[in-house]
Structure 1
Amino acid sequence: MKMLEVKNLCISFGGLHAVDRFDLSIDKGQLYGLIGPNGAGKTTVFNLLTGVYKPDEGIVKLEGKDITGLKTTEINKAGVARTFQNIRLFKEMTVLDNVKAALHRSYRYQTLTGILRLPAYYKQEKAMDEKALELLEVFDLAGESEVLAGNMPYGKQRKLEIVRALATNPKLLLLDEPAAGMNPQETGELMETIRFVRDNFEVTILLIEHDMKLVSGICEELTVLNFGEELTHGKTTEVLNNPEVIKAYLGE
């Protein structure tokens, strides 16, 4: 069974086809890339997959389950998490509390329990602290658990955003330009982080990226979008050497 199957996905804004007849098929455990020039429709696809937009046409299936048009929260509960091109951490909260914010879906207590600070509240808070610290330890961030997220170096903020997404226990992780704004050393570290996540968290990864070194270094297959339509798809090396792909990027 495929982890993600997308068939004939379409959406228009003001008569403009932002995404038109888009198909995508990703195997469980795969590390897949979605690339294309600026304005090709890549982030729009992510917004369709995560419920930010509802498609005009088409079907999205996660492990065979139809999730087309569901609310963002429902799609997240089904097992889809994402990061954003522009980091969306709670920068005035600590590193620990950023991860705990994502854990609240799994650790619940009644509102009155929280207001009155009943024993169940402390039990759940303790469990979330332990789980959050466990995740941070895996990614060498536990020592900065009490640091404000906004005070961390840029590369570590990117890593924290991935950790927070993993805290929702996803089956499919969508990474939107994770290398944006990074220097070469940070990008190299990011590549290792992404590989580690795929191999150790049993998660399938779909990423949008413009850094072709990162794309060629970690993606097993690619789909190329251009003007909202698929230009080509296939093995990474073949796609990146495709004359039509080169033409689309260079604008020739």
Structure 2
Amino acid sequence: MAILEVKNLSIQFGGLHAVDNFNIQINQGELYGLIGPNGAGKTTVFNLLTGVYKPTEGIIKLDGVDITGKNPIEINKAGVARTFQNIRLFKDMTVLDNVKAGLHNNYKYSTFTGVFRLPKYFKVEKQMNEKAMELLKVFGLDAFADYLAGNLPYGEQRKLEIARALATEPKLLLLDEPAAGMNPNETQELMDMIRFVRDHFNMTILLIEHDMKLVGGICEELTVLNFGQVLCQGKTAQVLKDPAVITAYLGE
């Protein structure tokens, strides 16, 4: 069953076709990679999928529901969450509060209830604390719950960003260059963690990545972008051997 179905997606900035006639289908539970040279349009695709940009043409369906042109909040509530190449945590907030920030889609109380600390406030806050700690424990971050997020080591900040994204209970998780800035040992740990997230949360994952070891190690299928257009799609092993991909992406 397709969780994400994108047809003829395009966007123009002035006369430039940043993404042109992009098509992709990702099934439930897949670990899918989106790769291509710098400037190929990968992050633009993510911005289209998350409502940062509105497409000039095309349709985006999430679990059969048309989400084309909706704003980022609506798309997040529909079930799409993302991380960023440059980590975007609330660095002056605690690790626990960062995860709780992602829970507000599903745990709510009114401003009046919060200001006057009514019984529902304490009930919901208790539920959020428990849920956030469950997520932190999954990622081995529960011992750091009271730390400021900005004080965590880089690799742990990456984990926290993924935990916060999962707190929104998405159907589709978009990871934007999760291995950026990591050493080989951290990259291997990240690969294991992404597999675990997919299996533990029954999650569908689409990732952008330049680390070919990571891409080849965990992605089941790939789409290669070049100059905003799909160059190649298919099983990872076949795509990485495609002569056009080698020429355009690997520079050989």
Q: TM-score range by the shorter chain?
A: over 0.9
How many correspondences in the alignment? 252
Cα distance in 1 for partners of 2:249, 2:55 equals 27
Cα distance in 2 for partners of 1:111, 1:63 equals 32
Q: How does 1:1-252 map to 2 (within 5 A)?
A: 1-251=1-251
Per-residue CA shift, 1:93-147, capped at 9, x if unaligned? 1100000011111110010110011111111111100000011011110000001
Cα distance in 2 for partners of 1:46, 1:106 equals 24
- Alignment RMSD, CA only? 0.8
Cα distance in 2 for partners of 1:50, 1:2 equals 17
Per-residue CA shift, 1:201-230, capped at 9, x if unaligned? 011000000000000000000000000000
Cα distance in 2 for partners of 1:84, 1:172 equals 15
3-state SS of paired residue (2:37): coil
Tell me by how many angstroms 1:31 deviates: 0.3
3-state SS of paired residue (1:104): helix
Displacement over 4 Å in runs of 4+: none
Tell me by how many angstroms 1:251 deviates: 4.1
3-state SS of paired residue (2:180): coil
Structure 1 unaligned spans of 5+: none
Cα distance in 2 for partners of 1:155, 1:94 equals 16
Structure 2 unaligned spans of 5+: none
Cα distance in 1 for partners of 2:116, 2:61 equals 42
Tell me by how many angstroms 1:78 deviates: 0.8
Cα distance in 1 for partners of 2:250, 2:48 equals 27
Tell me by how many angstroms 1:250 deviates: 3.9
Q: Percent identity?
A: 75
- TM-score computed with the length of structure 1 as normaliser: 0.99
Cα distance in 1 for partners of 2:105, 2:40 equals 33
Cα distance in 1 for partners of 2:185, 2:20 equals 37
Cα distance in 2 for partners of 1:188, 1:19 equals 31
Per-residue CA shift, 1:134-186, capped at 9, x if unaligned? 11011110000001111101001001000000000011000000000001111
Cα distance in 2 for partners of 1:218, 1:250 equals 19
